[in-house]
Amino acid sequence: MCGRNSLFIDQADLEARFDAEVVADGGYTPRYNIAPGDDLHIVTNEAPDEIDAYHWGLIPFWADEFEEGIINARSEAADEKRVFERAWESRPCLVPSSGFYEWKSPNGGSKQPYRIYREDDPAFAMAGLWDVWEGDDETISCVTILTTEPNDLMNSIHDRMPVVLPRDAESDWLAADSDTRKELCQPYPKDDLDAYEISTRVNNPGNDDPQVIEPLDHEQSGLGEFRSE
């Protein structure tokens, strides 16, 4: 599962990193604690030179009314699920990240949050799928983050992890056919991801500041449940 993200690289560096321009309504604001239901800045296959903001939570196209949507999709089965059918076939995207968060329950105890990041890259890309939900009075562009089995680093923290793309696979993810993209949905193969314990301040989405990423104490105040596929 990937239930919390961050993206706090400077805009100029973000645009240079992905060779794309921010076009989102409202522009770009660095975020340290992006929760489901917030907007994620993404790069789609239809506009690889643009960084836009989409609702985090893919809304089923058959839904009569707006709902928060599905924040994660299991990459092993996304191509078999009706809700992801058209997104998997032709709507891949990159989800830039300065680091995502995961929670571990040691021996069934209180959940301890971790920050997972790439020290040599201030923004990396997770694999996502985008779609457009059309209601009676509104249209919402939305996105879900694909997950896979954990790599060695994540295995001690959680039994799932987002599909983190090696940098040289990012353009392939956007341009390849669905079969090739399926092959890219692997546990992150390199050893440049790192993780450390952080304060439970991240549990509250209202805490959206640099203190969130600081290694602090183990105080636990509770963690909400998010919908994930």
Catalytic residues: 2, 102
Cβ atoms 167, 94 nearer than 8 A? no
C-alpha to C-alpha distances, 158 to 114, 148, 227, nearest whole angstrom:
10, 11, 16
54 DSSP β-pair partners: 40
165 DSSP β-pair partners: 125
Grouping H, G, I as helix, E, B as strand and the rest as coil, residue 205 is coil
Residue position matching structure tokens 């836009």:
52
Cα dihedral 212, 215, 216, 218 sign: positive
